[in-house]
């Protein structure tokens, strides 16, 4: 049971909710619990918000790329931007770190993603973009 989908959308804050709905609809095939679905939606929100705010400095002319893949009981979600990139990924993934303190950002985006998903991998190249790959195993009904 393998399935994939891909979409791109403008880097507008209002599209963060669109991304949540798209991924939730795609994941529905796995019949996740309400908690599993909430976890996935929260992680997607954080990743998309990071792309818009940090990747593109809220430049609405840019695009966020979203891909999802289901293999068996595993969903893989990829959120990608082609923006600023992250100079030091390990530092950026530390709780409370933010590159935009003037926006009163909490610096907990990656921490939230890691706490709600089974796996989070971040790759980034300065001035070339960031790719976040998140995975979650869904407990399939017996």
**What local confidence, expressed as pLDDT, does residue 109 receive?**
78
Of 67, 69, 105, 114, which residue is the catalytic one?
105
Please classify residue 32 by burial: count the beta carbons closer than 10 Å to its beta carbon, then call 0-12 exposed, 13-18 middle and 19+ buried: buried
Q: In Å, how far from its chain's centre is CA 59?
A: 18
Of 46, 80, 82, 84, which residue is the catalytic one?
46
**Beta-carbon neighbour count of residue 80 at 10 Å?**
20
pLDDT category at 103 given cuts 50, 70, 90 is low
What whole-number percentage of the chain has pLDDT above 90?
76
Is 102 designated active site?
no
**What local confidence, expressed as pLDDT, does residue 92 receive?**
76
Is 127 designated active site?
no
Is 67 designated active site?
no
pTM exceeds cut of 0.95: no
Of 36, 50, 82, 84, which residue is the catalytic one?
50
């Amino acid at each position: 049971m393998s399935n994939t989908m891909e979409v791109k959308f403008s880097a507008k804050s209002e599209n963060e909710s669109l991304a949540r709905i798209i991924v939730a609809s795609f994941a529905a095939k796995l019949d996740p619990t309400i908690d599993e679905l909430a976890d996935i939606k929260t992680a997607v929100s954080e990743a998309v918000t990071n792309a818009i705010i940090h990747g593109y400095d809220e430049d609405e002319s840019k695009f966020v790329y979203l891909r999802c893949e289901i293999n068996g009981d595993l969903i893989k979600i990829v959120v990608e931007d082609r923006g600023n990139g992250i100079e030091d990924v390990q530092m950026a993934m530390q709780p409370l770190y933010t590159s935009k303190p003037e926006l009163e950002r909490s610096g907990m985006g990656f921490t939230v993603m890691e706490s709600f998903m089974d796996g989070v991998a971040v790759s980034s190249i300065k001035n070339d973009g960031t790719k976040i790959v998140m995975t979650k195993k869904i407990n399939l009904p017996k």
